[in-house]
Amino acid sequence: MNYLSWLDYGFMKNAIIAILIITPLFGIIGTMIVNKKMAFFSDALGHSALTGIAVGVVCGIKDTTISMLIFAIVFALLLNKISKKSTASKDTIISVFSSCSVAIGLAILSKGGNFSEYSSLLVGDVLSITRKEIVYLVMIFVATIIFWIFAFNQLNAVAIHKTLAKSKNMKVEILENLFAVFVALIVTVSIKWVGILIINALLILPAASSRNLAENVREYHLFAVIISVFSGVLGLWVSYYTNVATGPMIVIIASVIYFATYFVGGRE
């Protein structure tokens, strides 16, 4: 058995390219999600992908990635807006939105009893990564890095103390909306191969592990990116030879790393 033969196949090449592009983004964006305590928010965004596809199917859009993207962005902005205005707490609002959109998605997709056609969305399918998906990924990668370079300091300030940031004339609302849109974009383009059920773990776990070890923001980012890329590549490799779905395998490895860092970091 040759343990390098996995790169001989076209679909595996696509998969590894996708993983090398997307996992650093998961690491970077994840740090802020963990800082801002938005884990539930990104989870809800993942669930909205189901509705995005359903809307695409109803409107007859062939490329469901586009309808998913549009829906996820609208969903994220709406969620931000309503959670600011409402008197109920944020997690309640998110839960309402999330369950509502999942229900709509399930209702539309299960019409005619054909939900099994979409069940691969739940656990992800690594074969769904095509050239087109990689083009999307590259675009989002570039956009996210640019956004991060220009907006990170301000975002961090908002995360630490919103009122203080406002008093320094930062455009808090625009920043938060932009951040939500980026989370939506990243979640949506990777959901087809990672799977709705576990996409959030990929955003949270590397950053959470990194937080156990890191002492400053630079380390926090660096560790998160390293852990994320490492689990992504190793997970793909293991899943290929053991014949299990790729997304779950990546998450298992990332979880193992999280627990290890928890014990190492917790001791000191």
Partner 1 sequence: MKKKYLSLFLILLCTFVFSVVLTVLYVNSTTQVKHNNKKTIVASFYPIYIAALNITDGVDVELKNLSEPKTGCLHDYQLTTADMKLISKSDIFIVNGGGIEGFLSNVVKEYPKVEIIDSTKGLNLIKEGDDKNAHAWMSVKKYRQQVKEIANQLCKLDPDNASKYKKNLKIYDKKLEKLQNREAKIQQQIATNSRNIIIFHEAFAYVADDLDLDVKYVLDLDEERQVSAGEVADVLGSIKKDNVSYILAEKLYAKDMGDTVEKESNVKVIYIDPLNRGEYDKDSYIKGMNKNLDKLQKVYTSSN
Span between the terminal Cα atoms of the chain, in Å:
43
Of the ranges 1-9, 37-45, 165-173, 192-200, which one interacts with partner 1 (CB under 8 A)? 1-9
**Member of 61, 100, 104, 127 binding partner 1 (CB under 8 A):** 127
Distant-in-sequence, close-in-space partners of 211: CB < 8 Å, separation ≥ 6: 31, 34, 220
Any idea what DSSP says for residue 3?
T
Residue 63 binding partner 1, by CB under 8 A: no
Contact assessment for residue 210 and residue 23, using Cβ atoms and an 8 Å cutoff: no
- Told to check if 61 binds partner 1 by CB under 8 A, we report no
Q: Which of 91, 117, 131, 174 binds partner 1 (CB under 8 A)?
A: 117
- What span, in angstroms and rounded, lies between the C-alpha atoms of 170 and 166? 5
Q: For partner 1, which residue of 227, 232, 248, 250 counts as binding (CB under 8 A)?
A: 227
- What is the Cα–Cα distance from 182 to 165, expressed in whole angstroms? 21
Q: Does 31 help bind partner 1 (rule: CB under 8 A)?
A: no
Which parts of 87-116 interact with partner 1 (CB under 8 A)? 110, 113-116
125 sits near partner 1 (criterion: CB under 8 A): yes
Cα–Cα dist 110/121, whole Å: 13
- Residue 162, classified by CB atoms within 10 Å of its CB into exposed (0-12), middle (13-18) or buried (19+), is middle
For the CB of residue 231, give the shortest distance to partner 1 in the complex, in Å.
8
In the set 144, 239, 250, 251, which binds partner 1 (CB under 8 A)?
239
According to the binding rule CB under 8 A, does residue 253 interact with partner 1? yes
Q: Is 215 in the site for partner 1 (CB under 8 A)?
A: yes
Q: Does 264 bind partner 1 (CB under 8 A)?
A: yes
User: Three-class SS of residue 238?
Assistant: helix
Provide the minimum distance between the beta carbon of 100 and partner 1 in the complex, in angstroms, as a whole number.
20
Helices (H) and strands (E) in the chain, counts: 11, 0
- In the complex, what is the shortest distance from the CB of residue 247 to partner 1, in angstroms, rounded to a whole number? 13
Specify whether the CB–CB gap between 176 and 165 falls below 8 A: no
Rounded CA-CA distance 95/90 in Å is 9
What is the distance between the alpha carbons of residues 261 and 255, in angstroms, rounded to a whole number?
10
Instruction: Figure out which of the listed residues 163, 169, 243, 266 binds partner 1, where binding follows CB under 8 A.
Output: 243
* Residues at the interface with partner 1 (CB under 8 A): 1, 3, 9-12, 110, 113-117, 120, 125-127, 213-215, 219, 223, 226-227, 230, 234, 237-243, 253, 256-257, 260-261, 264-265
